[in-house]
Amino acid sequence: MFKLLETLVEKNKKYGNDGQLASYIPALLEANPNDLGVAIVDVEGRKYYAGQCEKNFTIQSISKVVSLILALGDNGRTNVFKRVDVEPTGDGFNSIVNLETKDKKRPYNPMINAGAIATTSLIYGEDGEDKLERIIKFMRKATNNPNISINEEVYVSERRTGDRNRALAYFMKSNGMLQGDVEEILELYFRQCSIEANAIDKLRNILGYNAKGIMTHYSDDNVF
């Protein structure tokens, strides 16, 4: 299996040149488009790796899953989905269109930027640093990697170029769909997106599923 994965990775690296690096966050342009890695776990819990699977990268939208898990644990399903809907959307991940045209003014779902900002705002904590510590603590426990941390260069780049996210947040604030200080919420959102991990970290039950596909319970004291 390992040999097969290595062969597939090497064979498909060339296709990296067919795409484009993300340019909306300038620091992401420094990534190597030829980096390719894969990490797989089967239903019996056996793990297989190949390529640059141990190279760190910022998790970006993967963090939306983490913030949703924490928000649900803090507030319960009913309260979270009063602020964020669970509908699909054909608009871009950072589109403001649905906030302007939809009757209830809720973001369509937690996996687009507006929805993720809303769920991030629902995470409990005394202040932004406390909330960030909870997110990182969750990530470290979920991945069994105590070295999970923030890429400061990417964070600064996100913060400098995050005007679209500011527009989304202030629009939701004006409609009463976002509670709290907008800049503090965005600061937390930019930081959570800038958390670094690798493909093997992602493999280690980051979604709270065990090898049998059963979702397990999260709390601050015991992630799984």
| Domain at 121, CATH number | 3.40.710.10
Calpha distance 133→112 (Å, rounded):
23
Residue with tokens 């992401």: 28
Quick check: is 190 in a domain? Answer: yes
Domain limits for position 182: 58-196
Total domains in the chain come to 1
Q: Where are the alpha helices (H) located in 144-211, listed in sequence order?
A: 152-160, 163-174, 182-193, 199-203
Quick check: is 186 in a domain? Answer: yes
Quick check: is 14 in a domain? Answer: no
Calpha distance 46→186 (Å, rounded):
38
Whether the CB-CB separation of 59 and 193 falls below 8 Å is answered with yes
Report field, pTM of the whole predicted structure over 0.85: yes
pLDDT digits 0-9 by tens, 10-26: 999 888 888 888 898 99
- Tell me which of 67 and 199 has the higher pLDDT: 67
**∠ Cα 78 190 183 (to 5°):** 80
pLDDT band at 156 (very low <50, low <70, confident <90, very high): very high
Q: Among 161, 157, 24, 170, which Cα is nearest to 96's?
A: 170
Mean pLDDT estimate for the chain: 88
pLDDT band at 222 (very low <50, low <70, confident <90, very high): very low
Q: What is the pLDDT of residue 103?
A: 66
Helix (H, G, I), strand (E, B) or coil at 117: helix
Quick check: is 39 in a domain? Answer: no
pLDDT digits 0-9 by tens, 80-126: 999 999 999 888 899 988 888 876 789 999 999 999 999 999 999 99
pLDDT digits 0-9 by tens, 57-89: 999 999 999 999 999 999 999 999 999 999 998
Quick check: is 187 in a domain? Answer: yes
Q: Among 32, 40, 36, 48, which Cα is nearest to 12's?
A: 36
Quick check: is 207 in a domain? Answer: no
